[in-house]
């Protein structure tokens, strides 16, 4: 009679060990941890480049924030040929997907429309969205 409880205990431990090994081997290893210090340093440079009286600096800050977000998406191994594709792949990560998309659209307007410009207030709004997106990814 004593052997039965010990046997059941050993079988239970063995099953648990096998399940644990299977879990570890199938665990998603595709999204490595981002180097937060690197992203935080870049983000600080972007924030420090802002000036209410320098709208070209605001435009550059938006462009750089967009690039930084795309770098975080790539390093997190989100799939897609374009940033928009990668943003779609990461769609369930965003706390506010609409604001991230709006910020990216501001960047696209600056990049593709001759003479496009932004206000300081719109810059702050777009940068706020990019910052939250980077936080959502664990980059900052």
Residue with token string 């997106």: 133
Count other Cβ atoms within 10 Å, centred on residue 123. Answer: 22
Where does residue 100 rank: exposed (0-12), middle (13-18), buried (19+ CB within 10 A)? Answer: buried
Asked if 83 contacts 70 with a C-beta cutoff of 8 angstroms, the reply is yes
Give pLDDT tens digits along the chain (140 positions): 556 777 777 777 788 777 767 766 665 555 578 999 999 999 999 999 999 999 999 999 999 999 999 999 999 999 999 999 999 999 999 999 999 999 999 999 999 999 999 999 999 999 999 999 999 999 99
Count other Cβ atoms within 10 Å, centred on residue 38. Answer: 15
């Amino acid at each position: 009679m004593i052997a039965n409880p010990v046997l059941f205990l050993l079988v239970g431990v063995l099953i648990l060990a096998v399940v644990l090994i299977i879990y570890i081997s199938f665990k998603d290893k595709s999204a490595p941890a981002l180097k937060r210090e690197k992203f935080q340093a870049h983000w600080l440079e972007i924030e420090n480049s802002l000036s209410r009286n320098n709208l070209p600096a605001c435009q550059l800050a938006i462009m750089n924030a967009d690039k930084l977000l795309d770098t975080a998406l790539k390093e997190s191994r989100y799939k897609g040929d374009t940033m928009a594709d990668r943003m779609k792949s990461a769609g369930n990560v965003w706390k506010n997907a609409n604001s991230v998309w709006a910020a990216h659209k501001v960047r696209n307007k600056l990049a593709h429309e001759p003479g496009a410009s932004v206000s300081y207030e719109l810059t702050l709004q777009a940068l706020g969205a990019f910052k939250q997106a980077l936080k959502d990814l664990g980059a900052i």
